[in-house]
Amino acid sequence: MWRHLCMPVWLAVLVGFGCAARSDRELRRASVNLGQAVEAGNRAEVVAGVSPGYLAQVDEAALARGRQAIARDLEAPTVASTPIIALGRDRVAATRRDGASFRFEMDPTVYYAQDTPRRALTSLIRASRFERWDVLVDLAPRRYRAALTERAVATAWGEGPGGDALRAAREQLAVCLDGPIQLDTHFAVLICDGKPAATLEREGSVWVVADF
């Protein structure tokens, strides 16, 4: 989805490198090595260093145009690693060091969060996969919730063309979930391939999904 945006691709590439790094020093070394491969135009080394899930997203035309600038940035990175804890299912939580201990950067007890647009979209994906129709009702805008029941949601997501279309849209949303989000006080839009992939609205302290 980043085919037209070069730097976000390389940030994602660094995440791929960082998955295997045991320290900031190793992550910095991985970035420098990638920068040298980019500068030399060594496609084989670049491919070898990128996580397989990101290979299709590398914009080689943009890389060729901006090779020197990209290599320069990669060879002088600012590294700040973040410990990630897997909490089961598809849930992970970022932490930060606080003196001699670590603190969670999010509430690890909330699986279906709605406090940010991205977490609301994540909750929609999770709830639909686990058939938590009550959660999907909560994720709908207030103007629809009054007439929406769990039975109606379950029927919409059931077998048939309508359910198939919803599941296909959900999986596409999952692919785009790390994309940029345009945000103001009351509305948010997830962008994928330069186009809106989902729209959200703020209702008090939570976000709801208006369309996807």
Tens digit of each residue's pLDDT (9 = 90 or more) over 108-162? 666 788 989 999 999 999 999 999 999 999 999 999 988 899 999 999 998 878 8
The larger pLDDT score, comparing residue 17 to residue 142, is at 142
pLDDT at 84: 67
> In which element (H, E) is residue 11 found?
helix 6-18
For the chain, percent of residues with pLDDT exceeding 70: 74
pLDDT at 66: 76
Closest of 127, 184, 106 to residue 199, by C-alpha: 184
Residue 66: half-sphere exposure toward Cβ, Cα within 13 Å: 14
For the chain, percent of residues with pLDDT exceeding 90: 34
User: First CA to last CA across the chain, in angstroms?
Assistant: 16
Which residue has tokens 């135009």? 41
- Helix 6-18 and helix 24-40, axial crossing angle in degrees, nearest 10: 130
Residue 205 has pLDDT above 70, yes or no: yes
Residue 197 has pLDDT above 90, yes or no: yes
Per DSSP bridges, beta strands 187-192 and 181-183 are antiparallel
Predicted confidence (pLDDT) per residue in 34-68, tens digit:
888 888 888 888 877 777 766 666 667 777 777 78
Distances from the Cα of 110 to the Cα of 50, 62, 92, 174, angstroms: 32, 40, 11, 19
What span, in angstroms and rounded, lies between the C-alpha atoms of 122 and 110? 12
